[in-house]
Amino acid sequence: MKKNKFIVIEGLEGSGKTTACQIIKKILLSHNIKKIIIVRQPGSTLISEKIRSIIKKDYKTEKLNKFSELFLLYSARFQLMENIIKPSLKKGVWIISDRHNLSSIAYQGGGRNIDQSLIQMLNNLINKISKPDLTIFLDVSVEIGLKRALLRSNFDRIEKQSKKFFLKVRKYYFKFLLSEKNKIIINANNNIKVMKENIKNQLNTWINKN
């Protein structure tokens, strides 16, 4: 029997993370892995979902300060780690998380220019609770990703950022993925069918090895 793992999905808006979470769940089920939880960040606990709505909403009369944004995101992450991820991992449940620390490195570090040493300090605290076993990065171009996000619904506060912002986010994702040992990078510009096949092939290989 395979030991349960903590799998993180990362990527820009519209890269297909939510879609990929369901694809990954089906792949795990095909390996007879039945105890699976999908979570999203920010979110997935009562308090974290309240924080999510603050993060996403554009309060026209008050701008969310970039440090407030950072600490809200980490508050949501600590709530999720302590209340769901840590106890579930202890019970042998596999975790699929839509975003994690790397999103903060890319969006708040890259996009908002917050000092990486501050973000790393917070990441170290989160990693003490539990570290991901695998990061799956869905690599989509900024243009394609935002086009998909807009087709789905109106832009939220972060999606309203400039193209320059997202190009920096993408650059930081790659900068930090270089040092990530356990990763799978998927070309997410392809259609869902091709993306699904690529995830299936690479994840099956990883599961069989680990």
Binding residues for ligand T5A, rule: CB under 6 A, are: 11, 13-19, 40-42, 55, 73, 99, 103-104, 107-108, 148-149, 152, 158, 188, 190-192, 195
Please state whether beta strands 36-40 and 183-187 pair in parallel, antiparallel, or not at all (unpaired). Answer: unpaired
Which position's Cβ is nearest ligand T5A? 16
Q: Which helix (H) or strand (E) holds 80?
A: helix 66-80
In this complex, which beta carbon is closest to ligand T5A, that of residue 2 or of residue 56? 56
Task: Tell me if residue 35 falls in helix, strand or coil.
Answer: coil
In this complex, which beta carbon is closest to ligand T5A, that of residue 38 or of residue 207? 38
In this complex, which beta carbon is closest to ligand T5A, that of residue 113 or of residue 210? 113
Of residues 74, 182, 202, the one with CA closest to residue 132: 182
Instruction: Work out how close the CB of 200 gets to ligand T5A at its nearest, in angstroms, rounded to a whole number.
Output: 14
In this complex, which beta carbon is closest to ligand T5A, that of residue 1 or of residue 49? 49
Give the Cα separation of 32 and 203 in Å (integer): 14
Instruction: Work out how close the CB of 11 gets to ligand T5A at its nearest, in angstroms, rounded to a whole number.
Output: 6
Instruction: Work out how close the CB of 82 gets to ligand T5A at its nearest, in angstroms, rounded to a whole number.
Output: 16
Instruction: Work out how close the CB of 12 gets to ligand T5A at its nearest, in angstroms, rounded to a whole number.
Output: 7
Q: Which structure tokens are listed for 152?
A: 């789905």
In this complex, which beta carbon is closest to ligand T5A, that of residue 134 or of residue 195? 195
Instruction: Work out how close the CB of 92 gets to ligand T5A at its nearest, in angstroms, rounded to a whole number.
Output: 25
In this complex, which beta carbon is closest to ligand T5A, that of residue 55 or of residue 85? 55
Alpha helices in the chain (DSSP H): 17-30, 46-56, 66-80, 86-90, 101-104, 116-129, 142-152, 163-177, 192-209
Distance of CA 6 to the CA centre of its chain: 12
Instruction: Work out how close the CB of 123 gets to ligand T5A at its nearest, in angstroms, rounded to a whole number.
Output: 10
Those residues with Cβ within 8 angstroms of residue 204's Cβ, 6 or more apart along the chain or in another chain: 27
Give the Cα separation of 122 and 104 in Å (integer): 10
Amino acid at 32: N
